[in-house]
RNA sequence: UGACCCAUGGUGUAAUUGGCAACACGUCUGGUUUUGGUCCAGAAGAGUUUAGGUUCGAGCCCUAAUGGGUCAACCA
């Protein structure tokens, strides 16, 4: 049986990764000395989210696949948007996903001097010039996608003058916006990006790493490809919206490369997930307006949020692999991510008994004050996880929804006169239902069968239901937080003209402050994962303090008793 | 009067490179089960955007059309 499973797993068609296909071809053709070297180039202007996880897995995963390397490079060419605050969280999140850039941590700003020298070289070759015109004029002259641009009057400026002006730009002689350096490409190109793109702008602004050393900063199109070149990158993997930039990327590399070595840009589609907001701007608003507790709120699609929620690196990586890497834009069902996470957690999470909506049960024929240990399985998927002891007492809590006074035929759990199994303990039968003045059920009385210890009856009689339970006197009172999707529309990112606040799911967080859990978890560490029997996957919150533990629900279990009853 | 990219069940991907469309998620049945979980067995669901062409044969190749997307930041 297990052999078949292994075979099926190995032969199961994997989702396509067309980046692998292209890289493999390059290696086989012997390009760049058969090297494979990629990079993950985040701009340090926000927290990483699940969309970045795909990029990280593609970048580092491609290197891993071909025995190459992957650098981490902070694309910090715009000091007005960037901050050190994000540099640390980004590194933490990449490491958490299980990737290592070793000693290859770079900043685009590391290359500012080289970038400047290359720019000078381009000017000397007559391929770049200083334009004195204001932004609006340059923009006008650029034309439109359907109408060619017109050349700047400064385009034919002499090399000497360009050199002089560029040096003075660097010295800080001009105010912001006074001049720019542009590449001399082709103002009539059908590709807007080739119409003499800007290479440098003046920005009198302190940079988070270079301080006030520079007042001119390179633009993305110029800097990115050259940094790839300096770092020896062979495959520059990015998302689809950079497709039209590729000719320019290649143009710059062509001007500057002095050997056969050429980095190559390959674009793949970015991740879109149902019910998930990926817009950095809106995520920032959620945080700033306190609509969530922070970037690591367990409902956030950020990696820090998912980590806190209990999603695992393995689950996330498996999700990306199931999804594949292609150029087709689509919308992946959130259920696929949840499945990948559950699949991983099912193997790893310790089983534990907890009650999140307690209803008291008194076992009337069980001795008062007696505490008896029953043996429970830690992980049904992993024998080596062993067993633990759980205290059983006269007063217990069960899940309120596990009892129905007028039970329909397919309700397998507790009802008056019905016998069920208290998991790992005894068979018990409900004898009395105690109500308050309002007619609400406040307590149940049951009797137990001492002969069924461990959960099996010597006479072989069967019960239909098995309930999880917890001792009312020997358990820990904890807080449990239940999460649901943050947005209630399928594609919140696409509804651009709608305020994202209107799309928030009002029931995305439910706090249950009086929950009970078996005492075995009291030494659990933050982020430890558990599967509460019959309830779902939970983890210990990262900020859970000693006095009262806090649990987050990572995911519910697939539970369809409601359907079966109907 | 533009350039570039994309197009297969509800969703994401396959299809030995031209040979009667497969896998995963989701949905639904049934079985096992000391978790209505897991696991196992099974079902429904697309004839591949359209129209031509090449071919004995096309989801794969060619042409055109249609639909969708990206590009006109001194952002990345």
Please give the pLDDT value at position A409.
87
Residue nearest to nucleotide B29 (CA to C1'): A564
Q: Tell me what the mean pLDDT of segment A199-211 comes to.
A: 97
A329 touches strand B (CB under 7 A): yes
Q: How far apart are CA A181 and CA A280, in angstroms?
A: 30
Cβ(A220)–Cβ(A77) below 8 Å: yes
pLDDT exceeds 70 at position A11: no
C1’ B2 / CA A312, Å: 47
Cβ(A119)–Cβ(A159) below 8 Å: no
Find the nucleotide nearest A1 (Cα to C1′). Answer: B40
Residue nearest to nucleotide B13 (CA to C1'): A15
Q: How far apart are CA A418 and CA A408, in angstroms?
A: 12
Please give the pLDDT value at position A494.
84
Find the nucleotide nearest A462 (Cα to C1′). Answer: B34
Q: How far apart are CA A190 and CA A195, in angstroms?
A: 9
A228 touches strand B (CB under 7 A): no
A6 touches strand B (CB under 7 A): no
Cβ(A420)–Cβ(A408) below 8 Å: no
- The helix (H) or strand (E) run that includes residue A216 is strand A216-218
pLDDT exceeds 50 at position A168: yes
Please give the pLDDT value at position A560.
82
In the block, residue with structure tokens 């090399």:
A159
C1’ B50 / CA A359, Å: 62
A193 touches strand B (CB under 7 A): yes
Q: Which of residues 336-375 of A touch strand B (CB under 7 A)?
A: 336, 338-339, 342-343, 346, 351
pLDDT in tens, A46-65: 999 999 999 999 999 999 99
- Banded pLDDT at A210 (limits 50, 70, 90): very high
Catalytic residues of A: 43, 270, 280
Q: How far apart are CA A41 and CA A44, in angstroms?
A: 9
Kindly report the backbone phi and psi dihedral angles of residue A123, in degrees, each rounded to the nearest multiple of 5, phi listed first: -60, -45
Please give the pLDDT value at position A566.
58
Find the nucleotide nearest A108 (Cα to C1′). Answer: B76
Cβ(A391)–Cβ(A371) below 8 Å: yes
Please give the pLDDT value at position A13.
55
C1’ B43 / CA A47, Å: 44
Q: How far apart are CA A478 and CA A427, in angstroms?
A: 27
Q: Which residues contact A144 (CB under 8 A, 6 or more apart)?
A: none
pLDDT in tens, A98-132: 999 999 999 999 999 999 999 999 999 999 999 99
Find the nucleotide nearest A534 (Cα to C1′). Answer: B35
Please give the pLDDT value at position A546.
72
C1’ B39 / CA A343, Å: 12
- Banded pLDDT at A9 (limits 50, 70, 90): very low
Please give the pLDDT value at position A7.
33
Please give the pLDDT value at position A436.
97
Please give the pLDDT value at position A239.
97
Q: Which residues of A426-438 are buried (b: 16+ CB within 10 A; e: fewer)?
A: bbbbbeeeeeeee
pLDDT exceeds 60 at position A321: yes
To 10 degrees, the CA torsion angle through A234, A319, A333, A530? -150
A201 touches strand B (CB under 7 A): yes
Q: How far apart are CA A271 and CA A50, in angstroms?
A: 8
A181 touches strand B (CB under 7 A): no
pLDDT in tens, A543-556: 997 789 999 999 99
Q: Which of residues 399-458 of A touch strand B (CB under 7 A)?
A: 410-413, 421, 423-424, 454-456
A240 touches strand B (CB under 7 A): yes
Q: Tell me what the mean pLDDT of segment A143-156 comes to.
A: 96
Q: Which of residues 531-560 of A touch strand B (CB under 7 A)?
A: 531, 533-534, 557-560
ipTM for the assembly: 0.96
A565 touches strand B (CB under 7 A): yes
Please give the pLDDT value at position A323.
96
A43 touches strand B (CB under 7 A): yes
pLDDT exceeds 50 at position A3: no
Pairing label, strands A358-363, A354-355 = unpaired
pLDDT exceeds 50 at position A514: yes
Query: Exposed/middle/buried for A276, CB within 10 Å: 0-12, 13-18, 19+?
Result: buried
Q: How far apart are CA A19 and CA A267, in angstroms?
A: 8
Q: At what angle do helices A50-65 and A18-28 cross, to 10 degrees?
A: 30
Strand partners, A396: A361, A471
pLDDT, chain A, mean: 95
C1’ B74 / CA A223, Å: 15
C1’ B17 / CA A12, Å: 20
Cβ(A330)–Cβ(A269) below 8 Å: yes
A299 touches strand B (CB under 7 A): no
pLDDT in tens, A254-306: 998 999 999 999 999 999 999 999 999 999 999 999 999 999 999 999 999 99
Residue nearest to nucleotide B22 (CA to C1'): A13
Cβ(A526)–Cβ(A542) below 8 Å: yes
* Chain B positions with any atom < 7 A from a protein CB: 1-8, 10-15, 17, 22-29, 34-41, 68-76
pLDDT exceeds 80 at position A151: yes
A327 touches strand B (CB under 7 A): yes
pLDDT in tens, A370-398: 999 999 999 999 989 999 999 999 999 99
Q: Please give the C-alpha separations between residue A491 and each of A284, A426, A487, A508, in angstroms, as whole numbers.
A: 18, 48, 9, 16
């Amino acid at each position: 049986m297990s052999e078949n499973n292994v075979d099926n797993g190995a032969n199961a068609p994997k989702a396509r990764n067309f980046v692998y296909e292209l890289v493999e071809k390059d290696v086989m053709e012997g390009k760049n000395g058969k090297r494979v070297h990629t990079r993950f180039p985040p701009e340090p202007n926000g927290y990483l989210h699940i969309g970045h996880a795909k990029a990280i897995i593609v970048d580092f995963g491609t290197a891993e696949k071909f025995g190459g390397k992957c650098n981490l490079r902070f694309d910090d060419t715009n000091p007005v948007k960037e901050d050190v605050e994000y540099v640390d969280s980004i590194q933490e999140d990449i490491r958490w996903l299980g990737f290592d850039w070793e000693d290859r941590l770079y900043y685009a700003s590391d290359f500012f001097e080289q970038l400047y020298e290359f720019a000078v070289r381009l000017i000397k070759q007559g391929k770049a010039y200083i334009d004195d015109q204001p932004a609006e004029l340059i923009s006008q002259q650029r034309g439109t996608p359907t109408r060619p641009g017109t050349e700047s009057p400064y385009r034919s400026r002499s090399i000497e003058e360009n050199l002089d002006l560029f040096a003075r730009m660097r010295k800080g002689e001009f105010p912001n916006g006074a001049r720019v350096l542009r590449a001399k490409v082709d103002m009539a190109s059908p590709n807007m990006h080739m119409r003499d793109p800007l290479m440098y702008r003046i920005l009198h602004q302190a940079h988070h790493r270079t301080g006030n050393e520079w007042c001119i900063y390179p633009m993305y199109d110029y800097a990115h490809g050259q940094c790839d070149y300096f770092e020896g990158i062979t495959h520059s993997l990015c998302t689809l919206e950079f497709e039209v930039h590729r000719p320019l990327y290649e143009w710059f590399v062509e001007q500057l490369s002095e050997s056969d070595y050429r980095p190559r840009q390959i674009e793949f589609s970015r991740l879109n997930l149902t019910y998930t907001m990926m817009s950095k701007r809106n995520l920032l608003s959620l945080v700033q307006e306190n609509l969530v507790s922070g970037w690591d709120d367990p409902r956030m699609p950020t990696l820090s949020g998912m980590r806190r929620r209990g999603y695992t690196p393995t689950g996330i990586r498996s999700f990306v692999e199931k999804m594949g890497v292609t150029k087709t834009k689509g919308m992946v069902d959130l259920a696929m991510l949840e499945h990948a996470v559950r699949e991983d957690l099912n193997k790893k999470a310790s089983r534990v008994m907890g009650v999140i909506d307690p209803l008291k049960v008194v076992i009337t024929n069980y001795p008062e004050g007696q505490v008896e240990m029953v043996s429970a399985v830690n992980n049904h998927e992993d024998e080596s996880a062993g067993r633990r002891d759980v205290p059983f007492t006269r007063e217990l809590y069960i899940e309120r929804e596990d009892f129905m006074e007028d039970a329909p035929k397919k309700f397998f759990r507790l009802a008056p006169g019905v016998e069920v199994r208290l998991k790992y303990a005894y068979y018990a039968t409900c004898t009395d239902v105690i109500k308050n003045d309002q007619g609400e059920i406040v307590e149940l009385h049951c009797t137990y069968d001492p002969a069924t210890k461990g959960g099996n009856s010597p006479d072989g009689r069967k019960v239909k239901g098995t309930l999880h339970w917890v001792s009312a006197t020997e358990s820990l009172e904890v807080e449990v937080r239940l999460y649901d999707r943050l947005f209630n529309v399928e594609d919140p990112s696409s509804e651009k003209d709608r305020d994202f606040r209107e799309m928030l799911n009002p029931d995305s967080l439910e706090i249950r402050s009086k929950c009970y859990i078996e005492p075995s978890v009291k030494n659990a560490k933050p982020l430890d994962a558990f599967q509460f029997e019959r309830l779902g996957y939970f983890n210990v919150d990262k900020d859970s303090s000693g006095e009262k533990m806090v649990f987050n629900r990572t995911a519910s279990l697939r539970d369809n008793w409601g359907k079966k009853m109907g």
